[in-house]
Amino acid sequence: MSSTCSTLSRALDEPVEGTAATARTWLLLEQPGPWGAKALTSSHLDPALGRALEAAAKGTGVRVALIRRPGRHADSRMPATRRVYVAHTVPGNVWLHSATTTDPARLLDLDLPALGRGEAASFGAVLGGEPHDGDPLALVCTNGKRDRCCALLGRPLAAELASSGVEGVWEVTHLGGHRFSPTVLVLPYGYAYGRAQAHAVKEVLHGAREGRIVTEGCRGGSAWERPGQAAELAVRRAVREEAAQALSVVRTEGEAPRWEVTVAHVDGRRWRVAVAQGTSLPPRPESCGSVLGSPARMDVVDVRELTPAVMAG
């Protein structure tokens, strides 16, 4: 265990900010049983359907993932009815809808570009989906075929949360950043967390129920690209803003290795955040079994509130 990518990352104190997967909208399909490294095409889901969903989602802002209930994942028959969720994570239009289906191929009838824009109508029309009125979802990455840390650390976390009565816990196929395992995505707001522990996830979920974002251990909001994730978290911490939909990334200028990110508050305040792409040293594997590398990191260099005159200019 001492040589796993997550153990090395933790020992080297690699920052987690600005490392979340990017997706404005998440589309989740229940798929029990074992998952391969590329689960959409290597599970009990029809691989042709998996390939078609991947192709349909490309460039839409929608990320498709498989979910399953925590526990043993025997190679057993499929349930007649499967749960489907879709969540849009852009502040000002955050929502989570759910449905059930007996035919996963119906997902191909969804208007994925519209879902990516935050328009939920096709989810209701095609699947009979309705707004989710339950607890927030806690998606724990457990795909050990993708990286063994996700199985070694993610599965026990998911099981502990479920056995302690936490509602809305699912295992999910892939959230990126294996070396930050166990990793968790919380919907509907779309904030990801690394090196998660059960007590911390419970606090994150409690906050989400109240419309608050917990920044401790947060990798970023999936609605933004990685410089924006780091910038938005930096502003949250600087002004102690907890409200889930209070901040938005409204502009990102520049390119690697440096960006100027503008973060806006719903009350009209704005900040300009300088973000630099650094290199994590010494070299370490980004995944278990991979060669040594120097992962990119998002370093916030400066956070400056803009005056009305600057904003007008």
Which CATH number fits the domain that encloses residue 94?
A: 3.40.30.10
Domain assignment present for 263? no
Q: What is the pLDDT of residue 312?
A: 56
Residue type for position 163 = S
Cα distances from 165 to residues 137, 160, 235, 275, 289, in angstroms, run 13, 9, 34, 40, 35
Q: Which domain holds residue 137?
A: 1-245
pLDDT at residue 303 is higher than 80: yes
In this prediction, residues 269-289 reach a mean pLDDT of: 87
**Tell me: the pLDDT tens digits for 185-212?**
999 999 999 999 999 999 999 999 999 9
Domain assignment present for 78? yes
Q: How many domains does the chain have?
A: 1
Domain assignment present for 295? no
Domain assignment present for 297? no
Q: What is the pLDDT of residue 147?
A: 67
Domain assignment present for 177? yes
Domain assignment present for 11? yes
Domain assignment present for 75? yes
Q: Report the alpha-carbon distance of residue 43 to residue 63 in Å, rounded.
A: 17
**Tell me: the pLDDT tens digits for 29-71?**
999 988 988 989 999 999 999 999 999 999 999 999 999 999 8
Say what percent of the chain tops pLDDT 70: 95
Burial class (CB in 10 A: 0-12, 13-18, 19+), 18: buried
Domain assignment present for 126? yes
pLDDT at residue 296 is higher than 70: yes
